[in-house]
């Protein structure tokens, strides 16, 4: 990739990552922090054997409340080759993974595309998941057409001003809507195997944040009106304030149980059936993996 000017994400910073770092701080090449079986995804993703999660370092957002800031903001990880990434696919398959779950992959689309192509030529058979913040450039997603089986985007906000304040990104709402439309165009309606594991489709995640229940309800309404039963939605209650937001007027709080129940009731009233919800107490569970380079090096 000569004369590489990065325009992979909606920021389109055009930085030559061979010379310097852009907003996301990703290097020129692949950098990951963990590659291991992961059991904390939705049931149709983790199943009983676990999802083969590959956590990529660096991120195109700067969410104030990010629990994975060790790898997203601080870019902890190890640089690897495309051939090593292909080997990791097969190693996770050998461990019994239900799928290959590419977590925060946006800065690495060209290398991921190459790795998937090489793996498929060698007979690789598991579904590939693109697990993303949702802040995606539609043109970049088109490069993955035919390679990604399942898209798992976040839909964080319905107001651009909230996205700018909490995640330092502009034009978020239009961007995420167009991204999900492109994802759905590629996969079509959700498909499952005989064991109830998702093998094709789109699963949109929405993390409920404190005091933003009206945004949550508006997001659910948009998704229902646009896609009806053709996608799955995960209404997540696991928001837990991290140390850096302990003095933030909104983000210092947990999500009230009654408010979350109201949002779920809104989903039911809309007619949403293909959805995952979380039980009370999920805020006290730890969903943060150990980022210790497990599975990265031989």
Homologous superfamily in CATH for domain 30-284 = Aldolase class I (3.20.20.70)
Segment 121-133, tens digit of pLDDT: 999 999 999 999 9
Would the pLDDT of 286 be above 70?
Answer: no
Q: What is the pLDDT of residues 89-118, one digit of tens each?
A: 999 999 999 999 999 999 999 999 999 999
Q: What is the pLDDT of residue 228?
A: 97
Q: Could you state, in order of their start, the residue ranges of all structural domains in the chain?
A: 30-284
**Is pLDDT at 1 greater than 70 in this prediction?**
no
User: If you search the block for the tokens 């461990």, which residue do you land on?
Assistant: 95
The answer, yes or no, to whether residue 288 has pLDDT greater than 80, is no
Question: What is the model's pLDDT at position 3?
Answer: 67
Instruction: Provide mean pLDDT across the span 19-27.
Output: 95
Q: Which residues contact 39 (CB under 8 A, 6 or more apart)?
A: 46, 50, 51
The 3-state secondary structure of the chain, one letter per residue: CCCCCECCCCCCCCECCCCCCCCCCCCCCEEEEEEEEECCCCHHHHCCCCEEEEEECCCCCCCCCCCCHHHHCCCCCEEECHHHHHHHHHHHHHCCCCCEEEECCHHHHHHHHHHHHHHHHCCCCCCEEEEECCCCCHHHHHCCCCCCCEEEEECCCCCHHHHHHHHCCCCHHHHHHHHHHHHHHHHCCCEECCCCCEEEEEEEEEECCCCCHHHHHHHHHHHHHHHHHHCEEEEECCCCCCHHHCCCCCCCCCCCHHHHHHHHHHHHHHCCCCEEECCCCHHHCCCCCCCCCCCCCC
pLDDT at 279: 79
pTM given for the model: 0.96
Whether the CB-CB separation of 15 and 27 falls below 8 Å is answered with no
Cβ-Cβ contacts under 8 Å for 214 (sequence gap 6 or more): none
Residue 218 has pLDDT above 90, yes or no: yes
Sign of CA dihedral 182, 187, 192, 198: negative
Residue with the two structure tokens 């990434």: 85
What is the rounded CA–CA span in Å between residue 266 and residue 182? Answer: 26
């Amino acid at each position: 990739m000569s004369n590489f000017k990065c325009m992979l994400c909606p920021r389109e910073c055009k930085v030559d990552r061979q010379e310097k770092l852009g907003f996301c701080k990703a290097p020129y090449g692949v950098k990951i922090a963990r590659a291991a079986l992961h059991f904390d995804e939705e049931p149709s993703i983790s199943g009983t054997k676990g999802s083969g999660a590959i956590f990529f370092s660096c991120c195109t957002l700067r969410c104030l409340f990010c629990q994975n800031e060790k790898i997203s903001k601080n870019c902890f990880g190890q640089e690897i080759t495309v051939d090593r990434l292909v080997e990791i696919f097969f190693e996770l398959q050998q461990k019994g993974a239900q799928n290959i779950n590419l977590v925060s992959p946006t800065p690495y689309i060209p290398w991921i595309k190459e790795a998937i192509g090489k793996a498929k030529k060698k007979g690789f058979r598991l579904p590939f998941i693109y697990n993303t913040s949702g802040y995606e450039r539609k043109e970049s997603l088109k490069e993955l057409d035919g390679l990604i089986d399942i898209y798992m985007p976040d839909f964080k906000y319905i107001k651009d001003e909230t996205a700018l304040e909490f995640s330092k990104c502009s034009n978020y709402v239009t961007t995420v809507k167009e991204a999900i439309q492109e994802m759905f165009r590629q996969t079509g309606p959700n498909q499952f195997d005989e064991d109830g594991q998702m093998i094709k489709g789109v699963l949109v995640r929405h993390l409920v944040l404190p005091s933003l229940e009206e945004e949550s309800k508006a997001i659910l309404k948009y998704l229902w009106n646009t896609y009806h039963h053709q996608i799955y939605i995960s209404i997540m209650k696991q928001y837990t304030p991290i140390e850096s937001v302990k003095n933030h007027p909104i983000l210092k709080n947990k999500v009230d149980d009654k408010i979350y129940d109201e949002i779920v009731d809104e989903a039911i009233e809309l007619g949403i059936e293909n959805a995952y919800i979380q039980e009370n107490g999920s805020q006290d569970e730890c969903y943060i993996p150990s980022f210790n380079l497990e599975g990265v090096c031989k």
